[in-house]
Structure 1
Amino acid sequence: MKKSLLALAVLGAFAGAAQAQSSVTIYGIVDTGIAYSSKVTGAPGGGTGSKFGVNSGVIQGSRIGFKGVEDLGGGLSAVFNLEAGFTNDDGGLQGSDNVTSSNLFRRKSVVGLAGGFGTVLLGRQTDFADTISAYTSVNDFGGVVNNSGSGLSRLQGVRTNNSINYTTTNLSGFTGNLIYGFGETAGKTSAGQSFGIGGKYDNGPLGLGINYYQSKAGATPSDVSLIPITAVGATPAATNVYTNAANVGSSAQKVLNVVASYQFGPARVYANYSRVKQDLNTIGTAGFTSARTLGASKKADMYEVGTSYALSPSLKLLAAVDHTRADIDGSGTKGKLTQISLGADYWLSKRTDLYAFVSNMRATDMINPGVTGGSTGSDASQTAIITGIRHKF
């Protein structure tokens, strides 16, 4: 009897130790706002009109995730992260980058190893542009500034399927990253292939980041997951050849991001520049005007300056200016987008905040995609007002 009790005690101790060495965390974000947009196409009888709606994922995409770690000993750990996106305004799954909403863990689906060497992850994941976006307006305004350029420049977080990602440990403030996406096409390794390299430096109030990402044309629509949805574009008059067999293996998109941020007491100021080249984009002469979208451009240069100011530990005032110049047809004629955004973010607790934004986007010689709610359909100005609530758990 005593031996049995001793054996049970020993087994219980081992079980407790094993449990202490591994953990699984369930987490998530529910972010919903009420939005007003002016001059949105699709009004009854044609033309544009004002639009009101309830939007999911205003600042951050609503999501539920599972992440875990197991201590393997010797400083080595097994890690995983599964993250599903959803639209809580209608209860649906958030659509994948370009194709369908059937991907359950479309936001992230990775497993790997972590240790003194850094972290290696395999699966579907973002490149380092998503990490350094913390130094940009994406950190404060999220999806509100998506359409003026940060969606195309990958700062909003675009996923790469079938990828391997390596991130170093923090080396005196510096962190580096490499990512490689397998095209998985028999007989042609370069088809649908992608790769990226990035780094950031944190030193007290100073934050610097740089990232380069390149993807190549694939042979099937599934390869399009390497390209942002805005680049797959989206108008019948535009000819996009990311999945054209004649261009398989050719460079489809090249993206460079350079970002900087500095904290002056209660104020954070930041500036950044991105360039996106899409040499395979072509636009025919038919319907040329209606095809002048940012996603259909051959080259786009994006500039941003902004600030956030903490009036109190709970309340921040926000401002950002985004300007993009896009070469649509390769002739040198530039379409322009300018977005001015103002906002306030008030934290009721560490996990719940209320926000309010007003943003205006103007277009010249290209289609205005609109801040939210839809395009204006012509070179025009659109104003959006959004207020909402975000809860993290």
Structure 2
Amino acid sequence: MQKSLLALAVLGAFAGAAQAQSSVTIYGIVDTGVVYQSKVSTGTGTTGSKFGLNSGIVQGSRIGFKGVEDLGGGLSAVFQLETGFSNDTGALQGSDASTSSNLFRRKSVVGLAGGFGSVLLGRQTDYADTISAYTSVNDFGGWTGNVGHNLDRLEGTRTNNSISYTTSNLGGFTGNLIYGFGETAGQTSAGQAFGAGLKYDNGPLGLGMNYYQSKANGTSTYSADTSLIPSSSSTASVNTLAANAGKTAFKGFNLVASYQFGPARVYGNWSRVKQDLNTQANLTSISVGSLSTLTNRTLARAKQADVFELGTAYSLSPSLKLLGAVDRTNAQFDGVSGKGKLTQFSLGTDYWLSKRTDLYAFLAYTKATDMVNTGVSDSTGVDGNQGSVAVGIRHKF
């Protein structure tokens, strides 16, 4: 109740400000659809089909406020606050337990902008989110995220306590730097993050690259995904992996390209992710049939992953697009031999009823070999394949 009252109070305050100041804008997206998935893990060692009404299939449902004040001399003060919600339930949406109650978890920044570019302070995404416009994220959104784009940050991962600088457009080039403060007394590097990105726009050609690195804060842990273990089974041991504060935990590099050939946009990209927990090898030992080799082979636990993508968006008319993409991730894991492979084939169509409202329909076939199949929305709990279908509507305001 307190969270609801707080949210209503904040929304009411900003609504009043929007009426009083023309420089403040209220905007948002409501995206919801029906999703079918085959072979979803039941948590009891079996799988079954699942139908659901999902929010944020292409883009996360959200409401935001942004504004600008002219300070004179070409300098402006800017801010942006953005919260996510689940349209199917009306609840505030969080990417994990630590952010599920954050009102403005999607973005919370304030800064200055001018001919030099912009400087923003707060909670924000790094430049991988910007250059994702040259990938399947631009058309399929979160539909291709679980195959690798969630891991390589192209889906838009936030950095708390951060300051970023983005240049103005210089002959088609735009650059970005971001630094996240670890805020740990006596150890500056603990929880620290930094990144650098660059993009180039020239007519039909779009190119982008980004590097991001973060360090452990001493509290981050990886452990066995016990949700994949049948409740009737026993585990020999479940050992948690604790990261050493100040040591590198994540390194990610993205290289993307897109070109518009008449009505068709063709794109390709590659990302490499390394996750070094800097721990003593101490993986979970589980003896539950095939799960004994798969429990630790979830994409989030890969020590190295290479994500590849090829795709196209073809405009049959100004209102109708046909979409297609192939995503592939090759992953390596600590403590287990061989590589895991995750592949998804996606087809779709997107029809705009107006400039703000569109209808979409997506198909996907996701196959995993020697690793857990993450599925489009829900994991299968084992390797193998999964089919998925989504039909939805998105409205922007």
Count of aligned pairs:
361
Is contact 2:191–2:217 with CA below 8 Å preserved after alignment?
yes
Report the counterpart of residue 28 of structure 2 in structure 1: 28
Instruction: Please state how far the C-alpha of 1:367 moved relative to its aligned partner.
Output: 0.5
Matched with 1:391 is: 395
Partner of 2:361: 356
Task: Give the secondary structure class of the aligned counterpart of 1:93.
Answer: coil
Distance across 2 between alignment mates of 1:147 and 1:56: 16
Q: Within the alignment, does 1:271 sit opposite 2:268 as a pair?
A: yes
Counterpart in the other structure of 1:125: 124
Corresponding position of 2:40: 40
Contact 1:367 1:379 survives alignment (8 Å): yes
SS for the counterpart of 2:142 is helix
Q: Are 2:383 and 1:379 aligned?
A: yes
In 2: Cα distance, 1:31 partner to 1:265 partner: 29
1:283/1:328 CA distance change after superposition, 3 Å: farther
Of residues 306, 312, 315 in structure 1, which corresponds to 2:317? 312
Cα distance, 1:333 vs. partner?
A: 1.1
Cα contact 2:37–2:389 (8 A) shared by 1:
yes
Q: Which whole-Å deviations, capped at 9, do the CAs of 1:24-77 have from their partners, x for residues lacking one? A: 00000000010000001117x751111000000000000000000000000000
Output the CA distance in 1 between the equivalents of 2:177 and 2:224: 30
Q: Counterparts of 1:259 and 1:330 in 2: how far apart (Å)?
A: 31
| Alpha-carbon distance in 2 for matches of 1:207, 1:238 | 46
User: Per-residue deviation at 1:187?
Assistant: 0.3
* Structure 1 residues not aligned, in runs of 5+: 1-18, 225-231
Is 1:235 aligned to residue 225 of structure 2? yes
Query: Structure 1 CA distance, aligned partners of 2:55 and 2:143?
Result: 12
Counterpart of 1:181 in structure 2 is 180
Gap change, CA 1:218 and 1:238, over 3 Å in 2: farther
- Aligned AA (1:255): G
CA contact 1:96–1:103 (8 Å) conserved in 2: no
Matches within 5 A, 1:1-393: 23-42=23-42, 46-97=45-96, 99-220=98-219, 235-236=225-226, 241=241, 244=243, 247-280=244-277, 284=283, 286-287=285-286, 288-289=292-293, 290-329=295-334, 333-372=338-377, 374-393=378-397
Going from structure 1 to structure 2, the CA distance change for 1:91 and 1:20 (only over 3 Å counts) comes to closer
- The 1:83–1:233 alpha-carbon spacing in structure 2 relative to 1, beyond 3 Å, is farther
Match of 1:9 in 2: none
Contact 1:21–1:70 (CA under 8 A) maintained in structure 2: no
Determine the C-alpha separation between the residues in 2 that align with 1:36 and 1:21.
Answer: 45
Alignment partners' CA distance in 2, 1:21 and 1:357: 41
What CA distance in whole angstroms lies between the structure 1 residues aligned with 2:335 and 2:352?
46
Q: What is the deviation of 1:257?
A: 0.2
Does the CA-based 8 Å contact 1:86-1:92 persist in structure 2? yes
SS of alignment partner, residue 376 of structure 1: coil
Cα distance in 2 for residues equivalent to 1:52 and 1:84: 27
Amino acid at match of 2:257: A
Change over 3 Å in CA distance of 1:21–1:369 after alignment to 2: closer
Deviations 1:292-326 (A, max 9, x none): 11111100001000000000000000000000000
Deviations 1:189-228 (A, max 9, x none): 000000000000000000000000000000346xx9xxxx
Structure 2 CA distance for aligned equivalents of residues 117 and 234 of structure 1? 47
Counterparts of 1:271 and 1:336 in 2: how far apart (Å)?
A: 19
Superposed CA offset, 1:208-257 (max 9, x none): 00000000000346xx9xxxxxxx6761488664x54xx10000000000
Q: What amino acid maps onto 1:341 in structure 2?
A: S
Q: Which runs of no fewer than 5 residues in structure 2 stay unpaired?
A: 1-18, 227-236, 287-291
Hey, what's the Cα distance between the residues in 2 that align with 1:202 and 1:233? 42
Does the 8 A contact of 2:284 with 2:296 survive in 1? no
User: 1:197 touches 1:212 (CA, 8 Å); kept in 2?
Assistant: yes
> What is the RMSD of the two structures over their aligned residues, measured on CA atoms?
1.9
Q: Computing the radius of gyration over CA atoms, which structure comes out larger, 1 or 2?
A: 1
Q: Deviations over 1:118-176 (max 9, x none)?
A: 10000000000000000000111111111100000000000000000100000010000
Cα distance change on mapping 1:127 and 1:163 into 2, 3 Å = same
- The secondary structure found in structure 2 opposite 1:87 is coil
In structure 2, do the counterparts of structure 1 residues 21 and 91 end up closer, same or farther at CA, with 3 Å as the change threshold? Answer: closer
Q: Given residue 375 of structure 2, which amino acid in structure 1 is its aligned partner?
A: G
Q: Secondary structure at the match of 1:262?
A: strand
Identical amino acids, percent of aligned pairs: 71
- The DSSP-based 3-state class of the residue aligned with 2:270 is strand
SS where residue 92 of structure 1 aligns? coil
- 2:260–2:266 CA contact under 8 A, matched in 1: yes
Structure 2 length-normalised TM: 0.87
Q: Partners in 1 of 2:88 and 2:20 — Cα distance? A: 38
Contact 2:99 2:105 in 1 (8 A): no
Asked whether the equivalents of residues 238 and 283 of structure 1 are also in contact (C-alpha less than 8 Å), the reply is no
TM-score normalised over the length of structure 1: 0.88
Native 8 Å contact 1:29 1:391 kept in 2:
yes
CA distance in structure 1 between the aligned counterparts of 2:110 and 2:223, rounded to whole angstroms: 32
Contact 1:80 1:110 in 2 (8 A): yes
SS at match of 2:113: strand
> Would the aligned equivalents of 2:56 and 2:86 in 1 still touch at CA under 8 Å?
yes
Distance in 2, Cα, partners of 1:213 & 1:100: 21
